[in-house]
Amino acid sequence: MIPHEESAPQVINLQDGGSIQIHELGLVDYLPTWEAMRNFTDARTEQHSDQIWICEHPPVFTLGLAGDESHMLQRSNIPLVNTDRGGQITYHGPGQIVVYPLLDLRRFGLKVREYVQLLEQAIIDALIAVGVADAQRKPTAPGVYTLQGERLAKIAALGIKIRKGCAYHGLSLNVDMDLTPFQHINPCGYQGLETVDLNSIGVKISLHDMQVHLMKYLIQHLEAARSAVAK
């Protein structure tokens, strides 16, 4: 069961006859949202439509399945949740877009690496569209980065789980948030990695408007992948 929903889901009809349901959840606690997407994935069959959940979370640190708690450098009143996604430790909080694509990857002809690259490219395209011309990948470190001086700073994180060929968890994009909690961790396990948001690099945009850009490119890339399978 979806934990909360601000409005009726939007249904995106794809060219090959498939569809994706878009659910906007608003501000929702992390733990019940994780439990809900895991339960959806466990229960889904070939008849279930793919879904994308969009939300924000109250302040929370999350640690991946093989994560190392030593990357939590400073304890605070912000809870730490151990999850079943890949990756190390990250932070979620208000002002950050969190997108959970709940997808049967076989429908899109995607293996894990290709799926990660698709998510990264959707973020990169959306950032370029709002003026972040240097948005880029970093070899061996999933996510999306932008240059700050001579160093790359992280602006978006990825963490996924594949079960029965289906993906859950997803991505987070920092728009306009309190970045202080990132100083309490080694973000994604990388010591000294700077984390930025759009506001701190001079891009003034609302969460809603940035979400529109991000979803536009994510749907475009997913539709292109699915169309390639259908050929």
Global pTM reads: 0.95
| Confidence class for position 67, pLDDT limits 50, 70, 90 | confident
pLDDT in tens, 18-51: 899 999 999 999 999 999 999 999 999 988 999 9
pLDDT score at 145: 97
Q: What is the DSSP string of the chain?
A: --S--SSPPEEEE-TTS-EEEEEEEEE--HHHHHHHHHHHHHH--TTSPEEEEEEE-SSEEEE-TT--GGGB-S--SS-EEE-SSSSSEEEE-TTEEEEEEEEEGGGGT--HHHHHHHHHHHHHHHHHHTT-TT-B--TTS-SEEEEETTEEEEEEEEEEEEETTEEEEEEEEESS---GGGGGB-GGG-TT--B--TGGGT----HHHHHHHHHHHHHHHHHHHHHHHH-
Beta bridge partners of 99: 54, 171
| Confidence class for position 137, pLDDT limits 50, 70, 90 | very high
Main-chain dihedrals φ then ψ at residue 77, nearest 5 degrees: -85, 5
Active site residues: 188
pLDDT in tens, 72-127: 888 889 999 999 998 889 999 999 999 999 999 999 999 999 999 999 999 999 99
CA atoms within 13 A on the CB side of 48: 14
Phi-psi bin for 169: left (phi > 0), alpha (psi -120 to 50), beta? left
Give the residue from 58, 86, 87, 91 showing the smallest Cα distance to 74.
91
CATH class of domain segment(s) 10-230? alpha beta
